[in-house]
């Protein structure tokens, strides 16, 4: 399908890489962070504001958009880009993780995932072919294969069986694709077992994917396993294709994963934490609901250039949160996303300019978080 990823530079002090990913709706400089727009919207944040804070690419979700408003409706209205008025690249998750999270409301078979809608209880079957059909209707720039997200404490026999099925599903997704301009990423599973991770990478690398994701991490296995299994798997992946660590998004996790060689990240943490009053700063996390900020005239972070920090005090942000104002979610989420994008800027700068002292600052920040 052509080479869509250019490896621009390797860091001399780590496994980090600087890259450029070309999609049908624009170029993405990596390492990058993708805000999560599960239902065609990043919660409480306007597309205009996302663009202004430097967002390059968004994530949408097959499962949610399939159930509501429906992929055929979105297709008729011109695709997801037009529907949500986002001109830049979009990656869509296949829905595998959402189906996994349904617990007893789903059943995995060779055909696919049978599940009950969390909206109305209706029965559905999400097959690899259906996942591709939905994502092609949405018109995303990057489609993910359907996989099973394996619980971190699953037995080796279950992990082996599930990973085998995920590999077969990946091949079925490739066979089902009809839009060559839509890139497709395979997803590496294998649980906490390094040999199964290696085997899965070997099998998927033989298939014609434009990139690879690592799934099944950040699901309760703990920070040590997350870092060790992630770093191990990253170095097995093809060097000339993008590497995406799915759903892992604490700042410290992103820093360590970028240094391990991952290129793409997504997570709901910045927006979810913002709505809950937890804000990220270079001095650490801050809970704006605390009483000590009730009369604090200072900006949230004097070093931050976001709209919230340039225009409002901690006292005002606390007032909005305590009053339950919608503006609280907007300003807090905007700040957190701005912070995350500056974090990625610093990672790219450290790689591009060969600055070990900047990496040292980032690692120190990560270790203190």
Statement to judge: residues 253 and 328 lie in one domain: no
Residues 52 and 166 in one domain: yes
Q: What is the mean pLDDT of residues 219-231?
A: 96
Residue 3: pLDDT band with limits 50, 70, 90: confident
Single out the residue in 241, 267, 293 at which a domain terminates.
267
**CA–CA dist 271, 108 (Å, integer):** 31
SS3 140: coil
215 — pLDDT class (breaks 50, 70, 90): very high
| Cα(369)–Cα(363) distance, integer angstroms | 10
Sign of the CA dihedral with 169 first, then 171, 177, and 183 last: positive
Q: Which domain holds residue 366?
A: 274-369
Residue 1 pLDDT exceeds 60: no
Same domain? 90 vs 171: yes
Question: Is the same domain home to 284 and 172?
Answer: no
Active-site annotation holder among 93, 141, 253, 263? 93
Mean pLDDT, the chain, whole residue set = 96
Same domain, 205 and 121: yes
Average pLDDT over residues 56-82: 97
Q: Output the pLDDT for position 352.
A: 96
Both 142 and 103 in a single domain? yes
Judged against a pLDDT cut of 60, whether residue 87 lies above it is answered with yes
Whole-number Å distance between alpha carbons of 328 and 47: 17
pLDDT of residue 96: 78
Q: Which of 262, 275, 276, 253 is nearest to 340 (CA)?
A: 253
CA distance from start to end of the chain: 41
**Model pLDDT, residue 95:** 84
Total domain count, the chain: 2
Q: Label residue 187 by pLDDT band (50, 70, 90).
A: very high
Work out the percent of the chain whose per-residue pLDDT is above 70. 99
Say which of 49, 253, 263, 266 is annotated catalytic: 266
* φ, ψ (nearest 5 deg) of residue 103: 65, -120
Same domain, 300 and 361: yes
Lowest mean pLDDT among 28-37, 67-76, 80-89, 360-369: 360-369
User: Tell me, what DSSP letter sits at residue 89?
Assistant: -
Same domain, 249 and 197: yes
Q: Which of 267, 301, 320 is the last residue of a domain?
A: 267
Q: Alpha carbon of 62 to those of 68, 130, 161, 204: distances in Å?
A: 10, 10, 25, 22
93 assigned to active site: yes
Residues 283 and 232 in one domain: no
Check pLDDT > 70 for residue 2: no
Q: How many CA atoms lie within 13 A of 42 on its CB side?
A: 30
- Are 168 and 278 within one domain? no
Mean pLDDT, rounded, for 58-82:
97
The residue-averaged pLDDT of 212-235 equals 97
> What's this model's pTM, rounded to 2 decimal places?
0.97
Tokens of 72: 């055929």
292: DSSP letter: G
State pLDDT tens for residues 233-269: 999 999 999 999 999 999 999 999 999 999 999 999 9
pLDDT level of residue 98 (50, 70, 90 thresholds) = confident
Angle at 92 (CA atoms; ends 209, 125), nearest 5 degrees:
95
pLDDT tops 70 at residue 281: yes
Nearest to 288 by CA among 252, 230, 331: 331
The answer to whether 75 touches 139, Cβ cutoff 8 Å, is yes
Shared-domain flag, residues 9 and 86: yes
Lowest average pLDDT, out of 103-117, 317-331, 353-367, goes to: 103-117
Q: What contacts 24+ positions apart, CB below 8 Å, involve 150-159?
A: 150/189, 150/190, 150/191, 150/216, 151/219, 151/220, 152/191, 152/192, 152/216, 152/219, 152/220, 152/221, 152/225, 153/220, 154/191, 156/191, 156/193, 156/196, 159/189, 159/190, 159/191, 159/192, 159/193, 159/196
257 and 282: one domain?
Answer: no
Domain stop point among 232, 267, 302: 267
Q: What pLDDT band is residue 102 in, cutting at 50, 70 and 90? A: confident
pLDDT at 103: 75
- What is the CATH number for 103? 3.20.20.105
- Confirm whether 266 is a catalytic residue: yes
């Amino acid at each position: 399908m052509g080479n869509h990823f250019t490896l621009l530079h390797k860091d001399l002090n780590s496994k980090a890489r600087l890259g450029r990913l070309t999609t049908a709706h624009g170029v993405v400089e990596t390492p990058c962070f993708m805000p999560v727009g599960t239902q065609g919207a990043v919660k409480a944040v306007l597309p205009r504001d996302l663009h202004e804070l430097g967002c390059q690419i968004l994530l949408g979700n097959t499962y949610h958009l399939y159930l509501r408003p429906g992929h055929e409706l979105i297709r008729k209205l011109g695709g997801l880009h037009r529907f949500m008025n986002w001109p830049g690249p979009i990656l869509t998750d296949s829905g595998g993780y959402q189906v996994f999270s349904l617990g007893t409301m789903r059943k995995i078979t060779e055909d696919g995932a049978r599940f009950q809608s969390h909206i109305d209880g209706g029965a559905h079957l999400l097959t690899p072919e259906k996942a591709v059909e939905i994502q092609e209707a949405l018109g995303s720039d990057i489609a993910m294969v359907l996989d099973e997200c394996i619980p971190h404490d699953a037995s080796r026999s279950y992990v082996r069986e599930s990973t085998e099925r995920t590999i077969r599903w990946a091949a079925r997704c490739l066979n089902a694709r009809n839009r060559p301009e839509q890139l497709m990423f395979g997803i590496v599973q294998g649980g906490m077992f390094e040999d199964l991770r290696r085997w899965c990478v070997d099998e998927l690398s033989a298939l014609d994917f434009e990139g690879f994701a690592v799934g099944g991490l950040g699901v309760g296995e703990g920070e040590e396993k997350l870092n060790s299994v992630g770093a191990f798997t990253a170095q097995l992946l093809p060097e000339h294709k993008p590497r995406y660590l799915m759903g892992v998004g604490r700042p410290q996790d992103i820093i360590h994963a970028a240094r391990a060689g991952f290129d793409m990240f997504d997570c709901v943490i910045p927006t979810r934490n913002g709505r809950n009053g937890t804000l990220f700063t270079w001095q650490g996390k801050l809970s704006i609901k605390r009483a000590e900020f009730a009369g604090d005239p200072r900006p949230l972070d004097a070093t931050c250039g976001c709209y919230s920090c340039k225009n409002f005090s901690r006292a005002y942000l606390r007032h909005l949160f305590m009053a339950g104002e919608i503006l609280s979610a907007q300003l807090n989420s905007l700040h957190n996303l701005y912070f995350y994008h500056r974090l990625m800027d610093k990672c790219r700068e450290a790689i591009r300019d060969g600055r070990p002292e900047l990496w040292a600052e980032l690692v120190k920040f990560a270790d203190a978080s």
